[in-house]
Structure 1
């Protein structure tokens, strides 16, 4: 088993800068990962139930700003704490993993992905991006270690510029700079598509059908969501191989069938080390 800066956007969400906290020998993310591995390999709970508001907040503020957590995030902090305890999230992740993924799903996804679409390497090292990446890697590693990963089909729907999709070819690699949300139930992606008559002239509906066969490229986050969706979230730069493309110019839609590419140990290690 192998282990697994700031730019001028709007102020949501914010994070604690290095000047606002002491500089320990190990970064917060490194400490999280070491603690995670220690618990995983000892077959113990990854963390523990939360006992107080202040304790929970202290677990987040090495990365998240206190004002953001309490006043600006769209998720309720106290409800998130209670859910972490009631659903026994501590058995498979740290509270900051739980919070980071929920905050992305319900609050910061537009902010983070808009930043990543700019393509600048520094944005991939933004503390919130690195934290979410690590949180997803921990969930995927936990499931893989405990043989809980099951290959499955997942789906994604989105509206794209037609010109951006015309370069795609079968048997070619497909990567995105952003986090990539998918769902196990095809009907769940319908709200992300549009009626033909409402599409702009240069836009099309795109349906992705993905064979999710490689465990260490994304994480099953279904247990963390409140909406009943069975979701898998892939981290940035995940590689897919396109196996089939169907286009329907009349109906203005495209279906792209892909499979997750194999990940070598050194690729996983390189991604992990890039977060520290």
Structure 2
């Protein structure tokens, strides 16, 4: 735990303004001003239903409202949350009540939504791991069993080390599809093949087509994947594919599906190749 500290940052003196009021307000007293609020489309209702289905007061921050001229309160921020609360059958919600004219309400709506701190996949994974969420624990374990480590924060290129895995979204997708064994086998093969500690081998550029190809056929996991990598270095495979595309007059980044299919073709050929 750490205290709130601004270090050597200069203090700021805000303009004078009335203090806000914190209160529980009736949902039926809340109003939506369509002049600046977003309309509720299909995706919005999907978001509202998700909030409602996982409703916890520990995840519900007070909404921001302002007294409306016609009575009640205009919702400045929290439209999705308050709809979800009503869907759950609640009659009141916590709110911060601030005196604002309609123009300031619109400005506040714009400012609040523009100033949201973006949460990265690393933040989500780290928090989920601390909470003991099943998907996060399974992702960590699938990677750890290979001798690699799933990272909880990004790092500069110079500071990254072999065996550190930063492709959280890819690992999560595979694990949630029930393919944690693919993650473990694919990374373990890379770890055994990588004798010189090549950091780029563990980047998403390599992992995405490599692990996706292994996931395409469960029989691939029965192959000697280390020997396959010795015969088909991942970087040489992708570089050759990129070279062929350029020779054919195609430019730009090689599509992910083509990269995956290239590994699938090589794995299929490797599976039927006679061994000494």
What range is the shorter-chain TM-score in? under 0.3
The two structures have a TM-score, normalised by structure 1, of 0.25
Higher relative strand content: 1
The two structures have a TM-score, normalised by structure 2, of 0.25
Name which structure has the greater RCO, CA cutoff 8 Å, separation 6+: 1
Higher relative helix content: 2
Q: Which has the larger radius of gyration?
A: 2
